[in-house]
A and B are shown apart, each in its own frame.
Chain A
Amino acid sequence: MSEYLESLFPRLKRCGYEVTSPQSDRPNCIGYVVGSPLYFDPVARGIGGYYWPDGIRADDSVQAWRELFALCFGYEECADGSVEANMDKIAIYADREGDAAHVARQLPSGQWTSKLGKLEDITHDTLEALICDDYATVVILMRRQRT
């Protein structure tokens, strides 16, 4: 439990969570959900230390993140965050400006796992738990066959 995280995410404590790592500024949330050590960033591509694949829309939009997950990691959009057998699901959050802000990955238990910016990794029981000023709403859910 972390009072600092609970101050950033007002719904976190009520929804249930567990801290699963110490703070770290690498990777970012995208790298975390796809199991990569890289910091995926569309706008910083070309600057040493960051990564964004060639051929994928390179801006901070939700569409760019959707394209990344669809074309590079085999995800397709789905209707909801319910648990489906042999399916990995992710949820993309947008900030108040409508830009992509965060992505969480579903665990087989139905809980979600997230790398929170430069802070800790956590397991959270619901997607709602992370709704806050920075992660204003869940805008896209995607799924792929679990390998």
Chain B
Amino acid sequence: MAVVDAVKETLAKAPQGFIPVASPWVAFTLTADISSCSATQQIQQQTRVAGMNVTVTAWITESSPTARFAELVRRWKRDTALTSSIAKVSMHSAYQEIIGMGARALPLIFEELEQRGGDWFWALRAITGEDPARGSSDFDEAKRAWLDWWRDRAS
């Protein structure tokens, strides 16, 4: 097994929501901002690299909501780029995890909606239990209604 594969295999044991902490030898997997990280953990595994028994140690840390959200959005967009059905788009595991973040996801969703659009109305309704855009079939109108709703609550 190559070193890079051993590291990847070890990191694959990380619990959901954890990311590698920056270090020279795991830098290639570092995808998130770690400035707001907490709860650093170590994971280890014994393996063979170049014919030698070695212990691979990886340091991981709980991902910040912002980093986790960005990763989920990236996955969701990649996997549903060709999907027309809103039911299927909304049932994607990454989208469901975003809904599962609850109110913590709202500022991130509204920022995403305002800057890049996207099919967020299902998630917003699921999280808030409201639909200020109800009755509107036009995307821009629905987007405005939701952004106004959010600004009212944020002010």
Write the residues of chain A forming the contact surface with B, with a CB cutoff of 8 angstroms: 8, 25-26, 28-30, 37-39, 41, 43-44, 46-51, 60, 99-102, 116-119, 132, 134-135
Cross-chain contact of A134 among B83, B122, B132 (Cβ < 8 A):
B83
Q: Which B residues form the contact surface with A (CB < 8 A)?
A: 77, 80-88, 117-119, 121-122, 125, 131-139, 141-143, 145-146
Main secondary structure of the interface of A (DSSP, over half): loop
Q: How far is the CB of B147 from chain A (nearest CB, A)?
A: 12
Say whether A134 contacts B82, CB under 8 Å: yes
- 3 nearest CB pairs, A to B: A48-B133, A49-B142, A51-B137
Q: Is the CB of A8 within 8 A of B81?
A: yes
Number of A-B contacts (CB under 8 A): 91
Q: Which residues of B contact A51 (CB under 8 A)?
A: 137
Given contacts A25-B117, A26-B139, contact A47 B85 (CB under 8 A): no
Given contacts A25-B119, A48-B134, 7 further A-B contacts (CB under 8 A): A37-B138, A43-B85, A43-B86, A43-B87, A47-B131, A49-B138, A117-B83
A119:B82 contact, CB within 8 angstroms: yes
A29 to B84, CA, bound (A): 7
Docked complex Cα distance between A41 and B84 (Å): 8
- Distance between Cα atoms of A132 and B132 in the complex (Å): 37
Distance, CA A38 to CA B141, complexed state (A): 11
